[in-house]
Structure 1
Amino acid sequence: MTSRPFGPADLRQTVMLGLTAASFMFSASAMAQAYPSQPIKFLVPYTAGGTSDAIARQVGQRLGDVLKQPVIIENKGGAGGTVGTALVAKAPPDGYTVLVTLSSHAINPGLYKTLSYDTEKDFKAVTLLANGPQILAIHPKIPANTLKEYLDWLRKNPQESNYASGGQGTPGHLAAELLSSMSEIKFQHIPYRGGGAAVTDVIGGQVNAVWVTAIAAIPHIKAGRLKALAVTTKDRLAALPGVPTVAESGYPTYAVDAWVGMFVPASTPQDRVDILYKATSLALANPELKAALLAQGSEVIGNSPAETSTSVSSEIRLWRKLIAERGIKPE
């Protein structure tokens, strides 16, 4: 076959192809560099007013300042957080839809027989924002001032062992179940649709005790409407330095440290995950934000995506085992 000479038309075509390729490369590079170029949505899979919502709003404001883009909070509650979580799993993996959720994210795989998503495969971890410690608090009428006194009273009055939590399978519920297992005292669980409602009924005297987040309990403890007996974390809370841990109170291996974390759809480009993580780290370093979280009973965590992923996987195994042993079912 005879080859034809390379002429002006070929030169024009070669130049055009080169320009097209260069344009594509520039556009792809610009896209990567431009993120974020629009508002970011924090989807909280719980109703407004809870721990994850409060922390999402506080962090979102600071993150927006760092990224120079607004962070919008959207609440999609239902089924222990699984409704909103499923929406994020199916969202475009572009870094603009971020799940901000509680440690129920690691509890739900053991609690629900079937989920429309896979907690480990359908999400990439960004970071854990802050811890959400649980507090055991009782109505002031209960004749106990320490955890030991309370448990001794329950042994003598087993009919009084009722307690409220923010819902079936929540960190507060499982924190109570862990102590029930260790103390060999059967507690009567009364699940509510949120920690606020649980606290209200304990203050009103309808229920004797509540296992709930520090954010929900601290204002009422300081006002004398609730009596705090113990916190679930391995260390005492800066906001309640006089309240001992469960571990200090006779159960040295006990520790339940709930958290609020950030996750994105699994196919989100890693460079965008890294941008989110670094920007969130800067937001969490803000002294005013740190002080506000401490006053609520929460402390900044801010661990890396890899650390977060490892931690969540470990917790999934831990809670799955406890849920199976205690026969805990969803509502």
Structure 2
Amino acid sequence: MLQRRRFAQWGASGLLAPALGALPKAQAADAYPSQPIKVIVSSAAGGLVDGIARTIGERIAKPLGQPVLIDPKPGANGAIAASFVAKAPADGHTLLFAVNSFVLAPLLMAKPGYDVFKDFAPVSLSNYGLLVFAVGEGVPAKSMREFVAMAKAQPGKLSFGSAGQGSSGHLYGEKLMRDEGLQMTHVPYKGGAPLMIDILGGQVQGGFVTMGEALPHAKSGRAKLLGVFGTRRMPLAPQIPTFTEQGFKGYEHGGFWGFFAPTGTPQPAIDKLAGAVRQAVAQPDLQERMIGLGLEPSGEGPGELMAAVRRENLLWSRLIKDMNLRLE
């Protein structure tokens, strides 16, 4: 009788242990979030990145049951925002919304203030930002191959602009020169808008810009878009060929945009955030808006975001080392 009683006690303990162990996790998920969530944005207020962060923030506030506050901290190629979040409490109430410059800054700067892989936990890949190569109407090239041939015929005489030193557009321009054996002058601007003005005016012959910045000018006939990133043509502008179909490699993906939390943030909080973002990005009107802005919706979770981070890190670490590129 004693042995049977002990067996019953042990059996009950064994059955209850997993359930009891799951209680804290369930309670943590139910309790989160317990206060407003602050999203630190790596780009300036009023821009496209800030706008997408605000739109997603509004849509995840209701399922999360707390306000989502957007706080832009631009500067230093996104390093100011990232270093701020890296030092924030790991409780899921302070997040970073960043683009792929989040990976570039530590590769280009001696002291960025954060480590991409040690200081952050990926949450959600909201979308990709697809770039196009735009030229003014006075540039005779009608395709990327024709532009490359034109640049090869005039070594050192053509210039390309970017949204800033160390930006994606800058590095893709360096990649194009390295891969195709070109010599062009890089002209950095303070954003894509002033760059586009000078492309239209002929001060620079071309540059990598966002679809949203370039398409209105292409529709008016003042600019030509010679190639777009991605593995298929964009529904927004199906007449623009991809770099891939023109025989260029390494332009299959646009830069990622996504949410990150400080390392150590509880997994239930990350799961809850990722689920809310996935639901928001899946809404047809938001997908339509993103596509209309030249973005590729995603809504994938931590695994896909980390894969995008690793892909960018691998691509740019090699180029930056080969070209000996540094930002002061």
Instruction: State the AA in 2 paired with 1:271.
Output: P
| Residue in 2 that maps onto 1:83 | 80
What is aligned with 1:173? 170
Quick check: 1:65 aligned with 2:62?
Answer: yes
Question: How big is the shift at 1:228?
Answer: 0.5
Alignment of 1:74-223 (within 5 A): 74-223=71-220
Contact 1:199 1:216 in 2 (8 A): yes
The answer to whether the 8 Å contact 1:42/1:97 transfers is: yes
Q: Cα distance, 1:181 vs. partner?
A: 1.6
1:52 aligns with 2:73: no
Give percent identity, aligned residues only: 38
**How much is the aligned-residue C-alpha RMSD, in angstroms?**
2.2
Following the alignment from structure 1 to structure 2, what is the Cα–Cα distance between the partners of residues 128 and 35? Answer: 21
Q: 2:280 pairs with 283, 287, 308, which one?
A: 283
Q: How far apart, CA to CA, are the structure 1 residues paired with 2:34 and 2:220?
A: 45
Aligned partners of 1:47 and 1:221: how far apart in 2? Answer: 25
Q: Sort the Cα spacing of 1:242 and 1:28 in 2 relative to 1 into closer, same or farther, 3 A.
A: closer
1:39 maps to 2:36: yes
**1:264 maps to what in 2?**
261
Cα shift at 1:256 = 4.3
1:284 Cα deviation from its structure 2 partner: 0.8
Asked whether the equivalents of residues 156 and 184 of structure 2 are also in contact (C-alpha less than 8 Å), the reply is no
> Which amino acid in the other structure matches residue 162 of structure 2?
S
Change (3 A) 1:266 1:186: same
Q: Deviations over 1:54-80 (max 9, x none)?
A: 321222222223324322211111110
CA deviation after TM superposition for structure 1 residue 133, in Å: 0.9
- Which of 304, 317, 324 does residue 307 from structure 1 map onto? 304
Tell me the TM-score normalized by structure 2: 0.87
Q: In the comparison of the two structures, how many residue pairs are matched?
A: 307
> Which stretch has the larger CA shift, 150-159 or 318-327?
150-159
- How far, CA to CA, are the matches of 2:293 and 2:246 in structure 1? 23
Distance 1:160 1:237, change over 3 A: farther
Q: Distance in 2 between matches of 1:70 and 1:223?
A: 41
1:246 aligns with 2:243: yes
Following TM superposition, by how much is the alpha carbon of 1:252 offset from its aligned partner in structure 2, in angstroms? Answer: 4.8
Shift of 1:293: 0.4
Q: TM-score, normalised by structure 1?
A: 0.86
Separation in 2, partners of 1:223, 1:72:
37
CA drift of 1:257 comes to 1.9
CA distance in 1, matches of 2:92, 2:321: 35
CA contact (8 A) 2:156 2:183 kept: no
* Cα deviation, residue 253, structure 1: 5.6
Q: Secondary structure at the match of 2:314?
A: helix
Distance in 2 separating the partners of 1:302 and 1:191: 32
In structure 2, stretches of 5+ residues that fail to align are 1-22
Pick closer, same or farther for the CA change 1:28–1:259 going to 2, 3 Å: closer
